[in-house]
Amino acid sequence: MKAPIRAALILAFVAALGVLSAGAQGTVDRAKVLRAAADALGMVRWSDIGTTTTRLPGIDIVNTMEFRGGEYHVTLGYNPPAMRVEMTRTGPDGRAAQHTIQTVRDSYAWDESETGAGLVPGKGTATPAIAAVKERLLQLWTLPYGVVKAALAAGDKTTVSTEGGATVMTFPLSGQLAGITVKATLDSNNLVTRVETRSDNPALANLATQTEYSNYADRAEVLTDIKSPGRIVRRQGGRTILDIEVKAWETNNPYLVFPVPANVKSAATANSR
């Protein structure tokens, strides 16, 4: 074999090895980063209590949660994906406080006149809000736990990089939120501290947000070793749209349910025709 050909083959072999190595490294890094992020939040858990015959692997344990801060009360769940946001905003110039309950589950969104409105005859009113599905679901999936779950679900589409010394995960959302990309920054403890969403689709431009999470601790009444942020600041178009000092964050998969009122289902069906 002539020397130039041999050299070219060696070069190609080394290059191929490099590509394979980089690919393998990327996979390992992604898995490690996702695991570290899930561990930091306390999401990965296993238990042998009640059994001496099994040694089960860990699973993602987060499903339902509830947190309060100021006049902001949120209940949420990831299976099924659902969120109920209750706000009381005092009007400027002494105007009466405005109380709203905004709920979403799967592909349904509605406003409630009281918690659980529209489920029992004569108990409040549920007003369909189909156009709000994406915006409300985005709040759920950009919470730290939602970020880790969505990054895991995105599989190979999740990329991991380093920016300014910080680890960054970037991944696309799917389902109702297809077309939106999430960029999540981890701190040195692997906790999600900053989440940015963007879309190349102009129709989804209003869903571009930046949310910062800080002051993590286990602040649940029933301690769970799950870490939750103590402060949430969300910005949109440079304007702060949310700033919450969290007082309590119940993480023990509490009883939280989100049944869809019949009139909301009917409205969604009619809208899809």
Partner 1 sequence: MRVLACSRIMAAAAALCLLAATVVAQQGPPARRTNNAPPKPSGATPRTADGHPDLTGVWNGLGDNLNGVPNQIANNGVIIESESSARDLHNGQPVAVFSRNTNRGQNNEEGERAASLLRRSGSNRPIYKPEYWEMVKYNDHNANEEDPSNNCMPAGVPRGAIPSYISQHPNYVMFIYPGQGGLIATQTMYRMIPTDGRQHTPLQELDGTYTGESIGRWEGDTFVVDSWGFNANTWFDQIGGYFHSENMHVIERFRREGNTLTWTATVEDPDVLLEPWTTTPRVQLLNPQPNAMLPESQPCSERDLAHIVTKEHH
Q: Which residues bind partner 1 (CB under 8 A)?
A: 35, 38-39, 44-64, 79-80, 114-117, 119-120, 123, 149, 152, 221-226, 250, 252-257, 259
Q: Is 237 left (phi over 0), alpha (psi -120 to 50) or beta?
A: left
Q: Which is nearer to partner 1, 55 or 239 (CB)?
A: 55
Q: Which is nearer to partner 1, 45 or 231 (CB)?
A: 45
Q: Report the distance separating Cα 19 and Cα 87, nearest Å.
A: 52
Q: Report the distance separating Cα 157 and Cα 150, nearest Å.
A: 11
Q: Which is nearer to partner 1, 117 or 140 (CB)?
A: 117
- Residue 84 Cβ vs partner 1, minimum distance, rounded to whole Å: 11
Q: Which is nearer to partner 1, 23 or 259 (CB)?
A: 259
Nearest to 230 by CA among 210, 249, 211, 215: 215
Place of tokens 């040195």: 188
Q: Radius of gyration (Cα) for the chain, nearest Å? A: 23
- Residue 124 Cβ vs partner 1, minimum distance, rounded to whole Å: 8
Torsion of CA 147, 149, 150, 153, to 10 degrees: 160
What is residue 265's DSSP assignment? H
- Residue 25 Cβ vs partner 1, minimum distance, rounded to whole Å: 19
- Residue 168 Cβ vs partner 1, minimum distance, rounded to whole Å: 20
- Residue 259 Cβ vs partner 1, minimum distance, rounded to whole Å: 5
Q: Which is nearer to partner 1, 104 or 204 (CB)?
A: 104
